[in-house]
């Protein structure tokens, strides 16, 4: 690599020594080699930083930085500040890239030079076996002008995404308040300005499923989604965006009530119907939630048990 790299890979690390070597090696083994890696240790108490420094000593494309703990988005912002590539690519410490990930995205960019965001399909992975692809139907693959569909949920796996560094900097980077979904918050702000997303259908990333996944903190994640949508509505919006955000916020607030119901099923079952009603009132167009509420009211109804089982399984 000579001069400025095409891609800067941002890798936030917090107590990730068990996974970091696999993540970094998956970048170093890319068939597309015009990149740098910016590793930011976010106040780890293990030997993550020393491990990153060892990799940097062996590969001049790797930068290592250290800061007091501020969360994933704060670490990404530090990495963004020290990045020099035209594009930034995200990689979480516990995920890995397949060897042709960057090459496939660069080929896609050559076909669609107007693209603002590049992503790929990905597989869930337990560290040993692939557990299935995120997208299995082409019609649901969010390729193209995703528009307000992005307000419903994050359509892209963080470790699959690349965006132009200039766009990320112009938008002020990642909001450090959102430890779990700060990437989605940034994609929303990018989408409001017009977003052309182009994706590689073949999975190019393995997303590790394990007990330490931040995204498994269901209550915190659901509450953060509500906060991100509330924040979005404080920005000046075109009518279509405001309508989409309001609709998504109603659903998110209802989902939050459902998350809060789960422990009540075991500890205060008598409180479940009122909580179910609150969920439905947030989004009264959701017939399913209304039926669930009615099922919990019906005396000795077997349907209440089915509803409780669904909530336990989903939330």
Instruction: Please say if the pLDDT value at position 124 is more than 60.
Output: yes
- Residue 35's domain spans which residues? 7-215
Instruction: Give mean pLDDT, residues 38-55.
Output: 97
pLDDT of residue 302: 87
Instruction: Please say if the pLDDT value at position 300 is more than 80.
Output: no
C-alpha to C-alpha distance for 143 and 105, rounded to whole angstroms: 13
Comparing C-alpha atoms, which of 169, 185, 175 is closest to residue 84? 169
Instruction: Give mean pLDDT, residues 139-155.
Output: 90
C-alpha to C-alpha distance for 36 and 207, rounded to whole angstroms: 21
Asked if residues 92 and 20 have their Cβ atoms less than 8 Å apart, the reply is no
Using pLDDT thresholds of 50, 70 and 90, give the confidence band for residue 190: very high
pLDDT of residue 3: 79
Query: Do 198 and 230 have their domain in common?
Result: no
Query: Do 95 and 182 have their domain in common?
Result: yes
pTM score of the predicted model: 0.91
Query: Do 37 and 171 have their domain in common?
Result: yes
Asked if residues 9 and 38 have their Cβ atoms less than 8 Å apart, the reply is yes
- With a CB cutoff of 8 Å and minimum separation 6, the contacts of 280 are 254, 286, 289, 290, 292, 293
Q: How many CB atoms lie within 10 A of CB 127?
A: 13
C-alpha to C-alpha distance for 124 and 207, rounded to whole angstroms: 5
The DSSP letter of residue 144 is: B
pLDDT of residue 212: 58
C-alpha to C-alpha distance for 3 and 15, rounded to whole angstroms: 32
Instruction: Please say if the pLDDT value at position 311 is more than 80.
Output: yes
Instruction: Please say if the pLDDT value at position 236 is more than 60.
Output: yes
Instruction: Give mean pLDDT, residues 245-255.
Output: 96
Query: Do 287 and 204 have their domain in common?
Result: no
Question: Is residue 282 one of the residues assigned to a domain?
Answer: yes
pLDDT of residue 130: 87
Query: Which of 176, 200, 215 delimits the end of a domain?
Result: 215
Asked if residues 184 and 157 have their Cβ atoms less than 8 Å apart, the reply is no
Instruction: Give mean pLDDT, residues 100-111.
Output: 97
Instruction: Please say if the pLDDT value at position 106 is more than 60.
Output: yes
Asked if residues 175 and 185 have their Cβ atoms less than 8 Å apart, the reply is yes
Please count the structural domains in the chain: 2
């Amino acid at each position: 690599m000579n001069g400025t790299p095409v891609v800067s890979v941002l890798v936030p690390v917090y107590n990730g020594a068990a996974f970091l070597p696999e993540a970094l090696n998956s970048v170093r083994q890319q068939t597309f080699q015009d990149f740098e890696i910016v590793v930011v240790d976010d106040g780890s108490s293990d030997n993550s930083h020393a491990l990153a420094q060892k990799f940097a000593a062996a590969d001049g494309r790797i930068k290592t930085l250290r800061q007091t703990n501020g969360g994933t988005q704060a670490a990404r912002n530090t990495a963004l500040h020290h990045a020099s590539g035209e594009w930034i690519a995200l990689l979480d410490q516990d995920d890995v890239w397949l060897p042709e990930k960057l090459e496939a995205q660069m080929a896609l960019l050559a076909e669609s030079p107007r693209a603002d965001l590049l992503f790929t399909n990905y597989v869930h992975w337990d560290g040993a076996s692939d557990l299935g692809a995120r997208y299995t139907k082409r019609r649901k693959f969010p390729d193209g002008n995703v528009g307000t569909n992005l307000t419903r949920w994050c359509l892209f796996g963080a470790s699959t995404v690349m965006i132009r560094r200039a766009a990320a900097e112009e938008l002020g980077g990642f909001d450090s308040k959102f430890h779990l979904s700060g990437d989605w918050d940034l994609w929303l702000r990018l989408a409001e300005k017009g977003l052309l997303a182009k994706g590689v259908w073949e999975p190019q990333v393995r997303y590790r499923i394990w007990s330490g996944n931040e995204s498994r903190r269901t209550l915190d994640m659901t509450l953060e989604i509500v906060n991100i949508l509330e924040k979005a509505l404080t920005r000046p919006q075109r009518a279509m965006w405001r309508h989409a955000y309001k609709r998504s916020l109603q659903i998110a607030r209802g989902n939050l009530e459902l998350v809060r119901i789960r422990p009540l099923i075991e500890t205060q079952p008598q409180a479940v119907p009122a909580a179910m009603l609150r969920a439905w009132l947030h989004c009264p167009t959701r017939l399913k939630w209304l039926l669930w509420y009615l099922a919990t009211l019906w005396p000795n109804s077997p349907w209440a048990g089915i509803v409780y089982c669904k909530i336990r399984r989903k939330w």
